[in-house]
Amino acid sequence: MEKKALVYTGKAKKLYQTENAAVLFVEYLDQATALNGQKKDKVLGKGALNNQITSLIFEHLQQQKIPNHFIKKVSEHEQLIQAVEMIPLEVVVRNYAAGSFSKRLAIEEGTKLVTPIIEFYYKEDHIQFLKVATPAEIVEIKALALQINQALSQLFQRLNICLIDFKIEIGRTKANQLLLADEISPDTCRLWDLNTNEHLDKDVYRRELGEIVPVYEEVLQRLLTAN
């Protein structure tokens, strides 16, 4: 499949058309950003790591019958995905307090939440006002988010990793089917080593705790040994 016109440039990836309108080419970039783009760095090897990690996770979720846009990995830093209409929502699922949740509610990071908490960035009423998603779709997105949380929590537990929280984005197919899109990687999850609570995710970059490439490599190696 050939890479054609560039259709989207994000913080960490570029999307291209292919000769098939139903398929997009994704290129993961060697770029890290934080603080709404105020902090930005070239990080050699990050694109290949996130492409491989996301590919393994999306394949695992497909085996668990969780619908997603992934088609196949075509090179170290590229993959093919199904073209979908993106729902302009960030859906965050939290199992433990951390990050903005801890800050906002003054709850110590690492505090276990009694049940997973789902947050939408848009507010739920605004979603309907703006016609971002229908009420029925919101119900479906919440169910999908919990299903993904369960599958991911179990997967990471096998890797001796605690899934603290993560962000997902959802796409809508032409047939109005909702499916998981975007990526799932240490850029979009908080992953703590189960024994040491060491951060195995982008907080290493956000909080300037060290180099991220060895940390993302560690997550990839654990995923490869689990499969």
Provide the 10 A C-beta neighbour count for residue 27: 19
By beta carbon distance, the residue nearest ligand TMP is 99
Host H or E run for residue 96: strand 90-96
With CB under 6 A as the contact rule, the residue among 25, 166, 192, 205 that binds ligand TMP is 166
Q: Would you count residue 167 as binding ligand TMP (CB under 6 A)?
A: yes
User: Closest separation between CB of residue 162 and ligand TMP, Å?
Assistant: 12
Among 62, 77, 7, residue whose Cα is nearest residue 179: 62
With CB under 6 A as the contact rule, the residue among 148, 189, 200, 204 that binds ligand TMP is 189
User: Closest separation between CB of residue 98 and ligand TMP, Å?
Assistant: 6
Q: Would you count residue 188 as binding ligand TMP (CB under 6 A)?
A: yes
Q: Which residue has the tokens 């990687």?
A: 185
Stretch that binds ligand TMP, among 62-70, 77-85, 145-153, 183-191 (CB under 6 A): 183-191
User: In this structure, what are the phi and psi dihedrals at residue 120, rounded to the nearest 5 degrees?
Assistant: -110, 130
Distance of alpha carbon 137 from alpha carbon 143, whole angstroms: 10
Distance of alpha carbon 54 from alpha carbon 182, whole angstroms: 9
List, in order, residues 6 or more apart from 125 with CB less than 8 Å away.
none
With CB under 6 A as the contact rule, the residue among 28, 58, 96, 101 that binds ligand TMP is 101
With CB under 6 A as the contact rule, the residue among 27, 78, 137, 165 that binds ligand TMP is 165
List, in order, residues 6 or more apart from 28 with CB less than 8 Å away.
12, 13, 46, 47, 48, 50, 51, 54, 77, 78, 79
Kindly tell me which of 45 and 99 has the beta carbon lying closer to ligand TMP.
99
With CB under 6 A as the contact rule, the residue among 73, 190, 199, 222 that binds ligand TMP is 190
Kindly tell me which of 17 and 124 has the beta carbon lying closer to ligand TMP.
124
Stretch that binds ligand TMP, among 13-21, 38-46, 51-59, 185-193 (CB under 6 A): 185-193
Distance of alpha carbon 29 from alpha carbon 225, whole angstroms: 25
With CB under 6 A as the contact rule, the residue among 63, 100, 111, 221 that binds ligand TMP is 100
Kindly tell me which of 25 and 166 has the beta carbon lying closer to ligand TMP.
166
List, in order, residues 6 or more apart from 188 with CB less than 8 Å away.
166, 167, 168, 182, 202
Q: Are 144 and 170 in contact (CB under 8 A)?
A: yes
Site residues for ligand TMP, window 65-94 (CB under 6 A)?
92
User: Closest separation between CB of residue 4 and ligand TMP, Å?
Assistant: 28
Q: Which residues bind ligand TMP (CB under 6 A)?
A: 92, 98-101, 165-167, 188-190
